[in-house]
Every structure is written in C-alpha cells, then in structure tokens.
Structure 1
Amino acid sequence: MKKRNTFFDYINILFMFIVLLVCIYPFYCLLTSSFSDPKQAEGWFLIFPTNFSLKSYQEIFGNNRILLPIFVSLARAFFGTVITVICCSMFAYLVTQKELPHRKGIYKYVVITMYLNAGMIPWVITMVTYGLKNNFWVYIIPTALSAYYVILIKTYFESIPAELEESARIDGAGFFVTFFKIILPVSTPILGAVAMFSAVTQWNSWYDNLMLVQDNNLKTLQLMLYQVIQNMNVVMNDPKTAGTAMVMNRPSILSVRSAIAMLTVIPILVVYPFMQRYFASGIMVGAVKG
C-alpha cells in the first residue's frame, strides 16, 4: 500500500508540473517576445529572446506623457479599492442588523442590480447628469458599491459569532466603534479577497475613460496603451507610409503587444502573492456558507 501511495504521489507531482508548464508558458512567451528583436519576434515558440532588444519598451515609453497615466491608474486602483471595500463592507454590515427596517428588501434590491442593467446610454447620461464627465471621481464613485462584493462580505459577517458583537455593545460600543474596531479586524480574509478583486478591476478598466473622459491629464494607462496599438495599426497599414524608414524602424505590433501585456500584468503579479492567503480563505468561507 505504501508503494502504491508513493507511485501515485509521483504521478500526481508529474501531472501538476505539466499543468504548471501549460499555465506559465504563454506568459513566458510574452516575456521573451517583448525582449526579442521586433523583426524576429513574430513566432510565439521562443525559448530565449532572439537578439535581445528593448525597442518595444522604447516605443511605449518614448512618449514622455506615459508617467501621468501610470500615476492616474495607480491612484485609481488605490482610492477605488479603499472606497469600495469601506462602502461595501459598511452596507453589508447594515443589512445584517435586525434593527434596520426592511433590510431584506433593501438587500434584495441591491442583488437585483446584478441581473438587470439599463445599458450603456442610460449609464452615460446618468454619469453626465451627476457631473462626473471629465472628472477623476468617475473612476471611483460608480464602483463604490458592488452587489457581488456585498454578497461576499455579508455572508462572511453572518459567520461571525453574534456574541462578539453583543459583548461590544454591552461595553457601550456604538455602531461605528463596533464596525471598525470589532467586525473589520476579524474580517481580514474576506476584505482581502474583495480588495484583490477590486484592485484588478480598477487597474484593468479603461472603457469609462474612453466614454466619459477626454482630458489627457486624466487618461489611464490602459487606455493609453490601447491607443498605442491603434496608432501603430494605422501607421503600418497606411499605404502612404508603408515602406518608409519610419515604419521600417518601428517594432512589430506583436512585440509591442507583448510588452504592453507585461506592463499590465506585472503589477498584479507583484500584489497577488501578498493577498493570496486572504483571497483563498475569504472566498472559501463565502462559498461554503453561501
């Protein structure tokens, strides 16, 4: 029996190693392609960078205005995540209070928004009416409350022993003291999971920037990188500029796309290991109890 278990362990390790390679290899191809000579990076099956080159990154960072979009995206991800976590957790805590009138109806009203959507045009009109056009807060306020995050946090709050909250109230703690000093400290796993979800969403978002913000000082990194690819497509496909020295010296679209993918993925890969333990435990609690 021990030999059989050992054999199974070896097979399991081999299988997981193959799965790991399958998951990592596409990312590795992006990395090698982004650092390869743009003229020789058309193939995806690269073991090592061919003629190591930084032309793709020079094409992206050649625009001196890229630092401002990076700052805007970082600010959006930070403030958007903080406000989303605070608003969703506070709302979730409110709907768990039995003293709140019609709390079940309010909670169901929020959940319905996951299934019913008015569409793009009403959304744009609403944002303009609220004065959020060409405003940094258009990145923050519409995402301050998410039904999905509320469901996750509410489910976790309901798993906290009621005696903990009752003891705080007996000692004279009010609503906000109980929420910030008792409930939030013991809810780190689910808050970490929600923060991870929100940060990734904020970092990758660009559509609201495209629709509602024309001010270049508020342009996000994602939209700018998208415009870099679009401009390259226009220049390289224009018959008037085809074959010119400017086009011949520019990196290929594939290598630039690889470099852009690396720029957008690396920040998430840096943050994710620190949030992984909260992410796993928080999602498991919500999934089991939900």
Structure 2
Amino acid sequence: MAGIPLRPTARPIVKTPQDRLFSVVVYTVFGLFALICAYPFYYLIINSISSNNLSALGDVRFVPLGFHLSNYPQVFQLPGLGLAAAVSIARTVLGTLGTVLVSAFLGFMFTQQRMWGRVFWYRFTLITMYFSAGLIPVFLIIKAIGLTNNFWVYVIPYLVQPFNIILVKTFVESMPQSMQEAAEIDGANILQVFRRIYLPNMLPILATVAIFSAVAQWNMFQDTLIYVTDQSLYTLQYLLYSFINQANSLAQAAQNTNGGSLSAVASAAAGQTATSIQVTVAVVVVLPIIFVYPLCQRFFVKGIMLGAVKG
C-alpha cells in the first residue's frame, strides 16, 4: 500500500574469515584459562577419591586411580571437625550480615550532604585502606577490648570495609535523588528513607558485597591463629591448616600402630597417607563456599559494574 512505510528488515550479520578466526582464538584462550583455573580443584577431588598410595606417589594427575570414597568418612571422624564447621558457618553468616548492613548504611550516609563532617569521616575511612598499625598494635587493641578467645573477634573487626563502602556509595549516587526527596516530602526521616527506599533497591551491590565478605570470612584462618587458643572456637580453615601441618605425623602414627590403642586423631587417620588427609580435608573445606557463587552470580556482575562506575 502506497504511503505506508515498510518496516526495514534486519540484515543478517555476515562473518568474515577474520571474524571467525578471532572468535576461535578468543574461545580457545579463555577455554584454556578456565581449565587452568578449574584444574587445581579437580586435582584435589580426584586425589581424594583415588588409591591413597598412588596419590602419595603423585601418580594421580588426570583421572582417578583405584576409586574409593573411604577417605571422607574417616576425615569426618577427625575430632573437632563438626564444631569447627559450626563456628565457620556462624562467623560467615553473622560476619557477612554485619558487613553488608554496615557497608549499606555508611555508603548511604556518605552520600548525604547534611551529614556532619561527611568529607572528613569518608576520607578517614578510606585512609585505613592504605595504612595499617601493624600486627602487634592490633593484637594489643584486640586484647585490651576483650576479644581474644571470643567469638566476636571473627565479626566486629571486619564490619567496616572501606572497599565495600566505596562500592555502595557509588551505587547509591547512581540512583535518582528524587526518590529521597519524594519520601522526605511525605514525612520520612533519614532512617526511614534508608530502610524503605534505598535498601530494597541495593540488592545487586549488596549481593556483591555479601560474596566478597562470605568468601573472606570462610577462608580466614590467621585471626584464629593469632587471637584464639580456645579449641571450641577453632574454624574449619584453621583445622585444615593444623591437619596439613600434622598430616605426616597422623599418617605415620596410624601406620605404625599394630593393634595398639590409637589416639582419636590417629584412629581417624587410619589407612590414610599425609597426601590423602591434606586433599580430602581441603575438598571438604573448599566445596561449601564454591556453591555460594551460583546463587549470587546473577547479582554479582550487575552489582560490581554499577558500584564501580558512577552512572
């Protein structure tokens, strides 16, 4: 029909040989990079389910040899593992929740022009990213405030994280200011604006902060090594550190005992080698945190991009 413009048809994208070659190279390079990143985890898993003797000799590299799963029941019998898992889960959940809430609130407050001393406090917070008092002064402070041999040493010192605050602040600055103005016209105070307007809209960046915090909390063992001597407060990562250091002695004790009474640790390690203990405990400790990424991945990319670049 004359006078009615026809909708333009989209032209098919024609790839040149150079485009195809470029795609092949890119996919190959990134595929190899992904394999390099995944292989250490795969290596741990196949060695934990292979013959302990072959694993100790280093013969297990690409496929399991002498497949068995007996290492895992024996490792789960290691004393203190269940309690350490509970401590690690508790510190990860509470520490992540506290860090997310503090980062969200401070990131929001640092965008408020009416905040008293806003520039000073923001810069004061950022300075801590570049300067540290050192191990001994920090230990003396932790001891002075009564956090040694205290579960809260895993939570309180990590609440204020400058990098996370920067991400949240930049994300909040990209949100329309008119939302806060409309809420204040309706009579909302600053806490109501934060809780009802901004907090529900921070989900992508808070998921990013939660991933960073959860991984850091789960993998931390230095604070246990420095501040904790109470065995009931040991974490999984610290037990992994201890078992790796003791693996040779545990395996030797189990192998040298013929019908005699074994200690609790040595009896749990019976039939194992130092390598099997190390790789099996490492798999048990690493796998839980790996499952966090698929749950939060859809928020992670969006959050880190919006929190890193002011829109």
Query: TM exceeds 0.5?
Result: yes
TM-score, length-scaled by structure 1: 0.90
Confirm or deny that 1:275 pairs with 2:296: yes
Of residues 31, 36, 40 in structure 2, which corresponds to 1:22? Answer: 36
Q: Deviations over 1:22-41 (max 9, x none)?
A: 32222211110111111101
Confirm or deny that 1:100 pairs with 2:115: yes
Task: Provide the identity percentage.
Answer: 38
Confirm or deny that 1:171 pairs with 2:186: yes
CA distance in 2, matches of 1:178, 1:17: 46
Q: What does 1:138-157 align with in structure 2 at a 5 Å threshold? A: 138-157=153-172
- 2:4: which partner in 1? none
Distance 1:44 1:275, change over 3 A: farther
Of residues 56, 67, 85 in structure 2, which corresponds to 1:70? Answer: 85
Residue 276 of structure 1: how far off its partner (Å): 1.1
- 2:195: which partner in 1? 180
Distance 1:242 1:220, change over 3 A: closer
CA distance in 2, matches of 1:243, 1:38: 13
Q: Deviations over 1:164-211 (max 9, x none)?
A: 111111111111111111101111111000000000011011111122
Confirm or deny that 1:284 pairs with 2:305: yes
Q: What does 1:52-67 align with in structure 2 at a 5 Å threshold? A: 52-67=67-82
Residue 159 of structure 1: how far off its partner (Å): 1.0
CA distance in 1, matches of 2:270, 2:54: 13
- 1:89: which partner in 2? 104
CA contact (8 A) 1:32 1:49 kept: yes
Please tell me the residue identity of whatever aligns with 2:295.
F
CA contact (8 A) 2:95 2:213 kept: yes
2:298 aligned counterpart, secondary structure: helix
**Structure 2 residue runs without a partner (length 5+):** 1-13, 259-265
Residue 64 of structure 1: how far off its partner (Å): 4.1
CA contact (8 A) 2:99 2:160 kept: yes
Of residues 11, 15, 37 in structure 2, which corresponds to 1:2? Answer: 15
Residue 253 of structure 1: how far off its partner (Å): 2.2
How many aligned positions are there?
287
CA distance in 2, matches of 1:3, 1:89: 48
Residue 266 of structure 1: how far off its partner (Å): 1.0
CA distance in 2, matches of 1:233, 1:217: 24
CA contact (8 A) 1:29 1:44 kept: no
Distance 1:27 1:63, change over 3 A: closer
Which piece of structure 1 moves more, 9-18 or 80-89? 9-18
Which piece of structure 1 moves more, 2-11 or 31-40? 2-11
Please tell me the residue identity of whatever aligns with 2:296.
M
Distance 1:172 1:44, change over 3 A: farther
Of residues 204, 221, 233 in structure 1, which corresponds to 2:219? Answer: 204
Residue 257 of structure 1: how far off its partner (Å): 2.0
**Structure 1 residue runs without a partner (length 5+):** none
Larger gyration radius, structure 1 or structure 2: 2
TM-score, length-scaled by structure 2: 0.85
Q: Deviations over 1:80-107 (max 9, x none)?
A: 0001111121112112111112200110
Q: What is the root-mean-square deviation in Å for CA atoms of aligned residues?
A: 2.3
- 2:3: which partner in 1? none
- 1:244: which partner in 2? 256
CA contact (8 A) 2:244 2:278 kept: yes
Residue 18 of structure 1: how far off its partner (Å): 2.9
1:96 aligned counterpart, secondary structure: coil
CA contact (8 A) 1:55 1:251 kept: no
Bigger share in helix: 1
